[in-house]
Amino acid sequence: MRVHVASDVHGAGRELAEAAEGADVFVCLGDLICFLDYHDPRRGIFADLFGENHARRYIDLRTANRFAEARELSARAWESLGVTGQEGRWGVMEAMVRNQYQELFDAMPSPALLTYGNVDLPALWPEYLREGHRVVDGEVVEIDGQRWGFVGGGLVSPMRTPFEITPEDYAAKVARLGPVDVLFTHIPPAIPEIVYDVEARRFEVGSVALLEYVREHQPRYHLFGHIHQPLVPRTRIGRTECVNVGHFAGTGRPYVLDLD
């Protein structure tokens, strides 16, 4: 069985439409929306709203871990548009987010198994899912006699992205799975070399609950995304092969997994 896996799509609709070619099963691990493109500051909702120069400065501050200054810069940019408060900001961005979701779900291969990334808005997904799209989060599906577990979303972080949950709530989703053959998540386990992003030059937030789960249950594979430029893209935990499936928006290619 040939499985194609994409994560961190971030607006790459044209490439997404071709991502399932040759696959028996297609899996998407989330982060569909492009708010800010670290590789190309001309792309994304922030650049559309405030211009490329603002996006570059905002990226520079976040890369330097100067998150408070980045939020101040963003607040000033919103004020320049006459917009205050989270409700007002969302009112401006909602149409832009919806346009991206419409394009991306139209491009999403079908059938597909999907889970959320930290830069997703789960409440909007039901409006755009098509026939053959199945969202799985904190659940197990059986494929060809194998158990595949899915856990979506990210953990609370200084980035303040849309779908971040507490470690306790995340651990509860992980605990519901029980033993699986393949584990699919958006974020990685909390292993330093796996969670360090060499381009952003920081440790992102990985999950201790995932690390403990893999150590206990030893699935054959643990596939995840989230870290766009990892120091180490794969490692082993006992019998488990842990693999970062890659930054789909950057490569335009899915990760290919051949399962017996």
- Please report, in angstroms and rounded to a whole number, the separation of the first and last CA atoms in the chain: 6
**Per-residue pLDDT at 191 exceeds 90:** yes
Cα(193)–Cα(252) distance, integer angstroms: 24
Distances (CA, A) of 6 to 9, 175, 197: 7, 24, 18
Structure confidence by residue, pLDDT tens digits, 52-104: 999 999 989 988 889 899 999 999 998 998 888 888 888 888 999 999 999 99
Q: What is the pLDDT of residue 91?
A: 87
Structure confidence by residue, pLDDT tens digits, 17-54: 999 999 999 999 999 999 988 888 999 998 999 999 99
- Please tell me the pTM assigned to this model: 0.93
Q: What is the pLDDT of residue 96?
A: 94
Enumerate the domain spans of the chain: 2-32+110-258
Structure confidence by residue, pLDDT tens digits, 131-166: 999 999 999 999 999 999 999 999 999 888 999 999
56-65, 107-116, 164-173: range with lowest mean pLDDT: 56-65
Closest CA to 233 of 250, 213, 216: 250
Structure confidence by residue, pLDDT tens digits, 207-228: 999 999 999 999 999 999 999 9
Q: What is the pLDDT of residue 38?
A: 83
Tell me if residue 93 falls in helix, strand or coil.
Answer: helix
Q: What is the pLDDT of residue 190?
A: 98
The CATH number of 2-32+110-258, from 3.40.640.10, 3.40.50.300, 3.60.21.10, 3.30.70.260, is: 3.60.21.10
Q: What is the pLDDT of residue 168?
A: 98
Q: Which residues contact 172 (CB under 8 A, 6 or more apart)?
A: 138
**Per-residue pLDDT at 260 exceeds 80:** no
Length of the chain counted residue by residue: 260
Q: What is the pLDDT of residue 101?
A: 97
Average pLDDT in the 191-213 region? 94
Tell me if residue 190 falls in helix, strand or coil.
Answer: coil
DSSP 31: -
**Per-residue pLDDT at 2 exceeds 80:** yes
Q: Which residues contact 193 (CB under 8 A, 6 or more apart)?
A: 230, 231, 232, 235
